[in-house]
Amino acid sequence: MSTVLRSPGETIREEVVTLKHGAGGQAMRRLIADILAQGFAPGPPDGIGLAAMDDGAAIRVGERWLVVTTDSHVVHPVFFPGGDIGRLAVAGTVNDLAMMGATTPLALTCAVIVEEGFRRADLERIHRSMQETCDEAGATVVAGDTKVMGRGELDGIVINTTGIALADAIVPDAGLRPGDRVIVTGTIGDHGMALMAKRHVLALEGELRSDVAPLNRLIAAALAAAPGLVSAMKDPTRGGVASALHEMAEKSRVGVVLQEPALPVSSVVRSAAEMLGLDPLHIANEGKALLGVRPDAAGRVLAALRAQPLGRDAAVVGECIVEHAGRVILDTGIGRRLVSEVEGEPLPRIC
């Protein structure tokens, strides 16, 4: 009897990094925990460092917190309905700061790597878009770096942005408590679905638009409505609401019950998801946030969100429970089931 425990396929799967490691799910979190977050000296005491694997880091500076976050952006296509890589690069980092409770960005840096042959006019268009998005967010770029690589050495353009901001209080993604309500700030799945439609030339393309937007002002309004009562925040980007909630539930050691009928999904995203056999919970957003809110503050936070243009479709979609810690349960209105995380990317990268 053969004692071969592994086929060559299994070895391949373990020895190289594959696209699934970038899909925002468990595989990615494990890769980061196993390799990338290992071996650095611990961060500053009582702050939030790499080990927390939060949206960014928080370092205490006197009575306040300095929040730092960084994000590299690749997207195909570079220009898509509702936005482009420039808007994505600014909004993505501004939002990561905001998700830590830092809603007034002090400064951003921007590093651009461009493939030889990239159209100059496109670069100008991306740059304009970054400027406009900065204006919208009240942010600015203070330092940058530019590299050009040979044709074929990367796909068009990669933009990295790093952001810093000061905050009076930090909102971690691990702060959910039983009883907390879960609020989503608007319709889900718009960004990922718009990109898929564009790539696969779906008939619905005209109506689908990415939601990419800086959320810091919206989040500032929510935090101001109930100081200290927003317990956790996360933006459901890659992996969608499902991955973001899993991560929050795992880190907070609570179960989350989502009410499917309460989830805001635009009719065009719903149709496209049905057509492609996808779950809107798995689809990326770039202009939405998930908030955990103490039960008695949920009404106030919801009202504050809905008063803002970016939050007009906000809804209470779920509740945290003691049981089923680390799991996300969906009440479909008919029965209940577990919500899965995406495990790898069936389609090309979307953010």
Partner 1 sequence: MPETAVPSAVDELKFRDPAKARALAAALGKVTREVGHAPVSVMHVCGSHEQAIAKFGLRTILPKGLNVIMGPGCPVCVTDLPEVDEAVVLAQDGKIIASYGDMLKVPGTAQSLADAQALGGRIEVVYSAAQAVELARDTTDDVVFFASGFETTAVATAAVALGDVPPNFSILSAHKYIPPVMEIVAEMPDSRVEGFLAAGHAAAITGWKIFERFVEKHRVPVVVAGFEPLDILAGLVKLIELVRDGTPRVENMFPRCVTPDGNRNAQRQLWRVFRTQGGRWRGIAHVPNGNLRLRDEFAHLDARSRYPIDLRRLWTHAPSALTQVCICGEIMAGLNAPENCPLFGKECVPESPVGACMVSSEGTCKIWYQYGGHPEL
Q: Among residues 39, 42, 150, 335, which is the contact residue for partner 1, using CB under 8 A? A: 335
**CB of residue 247 vs partner 1: minimum separation in angstroms?**
17
> Is 320 exposed, middle or buried (CB count within 10 Å of its CB: 0-12, 13-18, 19+)?
buried
Query: Does 259 contact partner 1 by CB under 8 A?
Result: no
Treating both helix axes as pointing N-terminal to C-terminal, what angle do 85-99 and 120-137 enclose, rounded to 10 degrees?
30
b (16+ CB within 10 A) / e for 150-174: eeeebebbbbbbbbbbebeebbbbb
Q: Among residues 125, 141, 340, 349, which is the contact residue for partner 1, using CB under 8 A? A: 340
3-state secondary structure of 40: coil
**CB of residue 262 vs partner 1: minimum separation in angstroms?**
13
CA-to-CA distance for 86 and 42, rounded, in angstroms?
A: 33
CA-to-CA distance for 139 and 108, rounded, in angstroms?
A: 7
Query: Does 277 contact partner 1 by CB under 8 A?
Result: yes
3-state secondary structure of 4: coil
Q: Among residues 36, 51, 61, 275, which is the contact residue for partner 1, using CB under 8 A? A: 275
Query: Does 331 contact partner 1 by CB under 8 A?
Result: yes
Tell me which residue has tokens 């086929």: 7
Count of residues engaged in binding partner 1, rule: CB under 8 A: 41
Q: Among residues 230, 343, 349, 350, which is the contact residue for partner 1, using CB under 8 A? A: 343
Q: Among residues 179, 299, 346, 349, which is the contact residue for partner 1, using CB under 8 A? A: 346
Query: Does 274 contact partner 1 by CB under 8 A?
Result: yes
Q: How far is CA 128 from CA 43, 121, 132, in A?
A: 36, 11, 6
Q: Among residues 218, 267, 287, 302, which is the contact residue for partner 1, using CB under 8 A? A: 267
Tell me which residue has tokens 């770029």: 141
Beta strand 64-73 with 79-80: parallel, antiparallel or unpaired?
A: unpaired
**CB of residue 336 vs partner 1: minimum separation in angstroms?**
4
Q: Among residues 8, 39, 42, 152, which is the contact residue for partner 1, using CB under 8 A? A: 8
Q: Which of 135, 136, 139 is nearest to 109 (CA)?
A: 139
Q: Among residues 24, 27, 176, 308, which is the contact residue for partner 1, using CB under 8 A? A: 27
**CB of residue 285 vs partner 1: minimum separation in angstroms?**
21
Query: Does 322 contact partner 1 by CB under 8 A?
Result: no
Query: Does 34 contact partner 1 by CB under 8 A?
Result: no
Q: Among residues 128, 147, 253, 336, which is the contact residue for partner 1, using CB under 8 A? A: 336
CA atoms within 13 A on the CB side of 336: 9
CB-wise, 27 or 320, nearer to partner 1?
A: 27
Query: Does 18 contact partner 1 by CB under 8 A?
Result: yes
CA 166 to chain CA mean position, Å: 21
Q: Among residues 177, 300, 324, 349, which is the contact residue for partner 1, using CB under 8 A? A: 324
Query: Does 46 contact partner 1 by CB under 8 A?
Result: no
Query: Does 33 contact partner 1 by CB under 8 A?
Result: no
3-state secondary structure of 220: helix
**CB of residue 150 vs partner 1: minimum separation in angstroms?**
21
In DSSP notation, 221-268 reads HHHHHSTTTEEEEE---TTHHHHHHHHHHHHHT-EEEEEGGGS---HH
Query: Does 4 contact partner 1 by CB under 8 A?
Result: yes
- The residues binding partner 1 (CB under 8 A) are 2-10, 12-13, 16, 18, 20, 26-27, 200, 261, 267, 270-271, 274-275, 277, 279, 324, 329-338, 340, 343-344, 346-347
